[in-house]
Homo-oligomer: A and B are copies of this chain.
Amino acid sequence: MSDALQKGRGVIKTLNPDLETILSERYDGIVPDMAETLIEWAYGRQYAREGVDLKTRQLCTVAALTALGGGTAPQLKINIEHAMAAGASEVEIAEVIWQMALYAGMPAAINGLNAAQEVFAA
């Protein structure tokens, strides 16, 4: 097990403890090692880095996935949950989503708010 994989598993414990199992059951059948690769790369090599706290990282992710548009709604919802697990409030999440109207347009921001409402209601 690489150091990065180990670190990634540590980060996931805070944000979403079942993530690796869920990914593994869903995707390793058609892409061997997909779950392990994602945990190593996304959480071990990125979120585990120093310099920016986890909550700010997750708010940036929520902003970016909103800006990238409606096709990323499933991933946006998961990252809204991760942002809340990292300490972000509903207000903070809604605010950074709405701000994206400036950079990616109204449709992207509105689709982002719709995703947030679904997560907040659940």
| Identical subunits present | 6
Q: Could you tell me the dominant secondary structure of chain A's interface residues?
A: helix
CA distance A10 to B59 in the complex (A): 25
Other A-B pairs beyond A49-B95, A72-B111, 17, CB < 8 Å: A33-B45, A37-B45, A46-B101, A49-B98, A51-B91, A56-B92, A56-B96, A57-B99, A60-B60, A63-B64, A64-B100, A69-B71, A70-B74, A71-B108, A100-B105, A102-B106, A103-B107
Task: List residues of A whose CB falls within 8 A of some B CB.
Answer: 2-5, 27, 30-31, 33-34, 37-38, 40-42, 45-47, 49, 51-52, 56-57, 59-75, 90-92, 94-96, 98-108, 110-111, 113, 116-117, 120
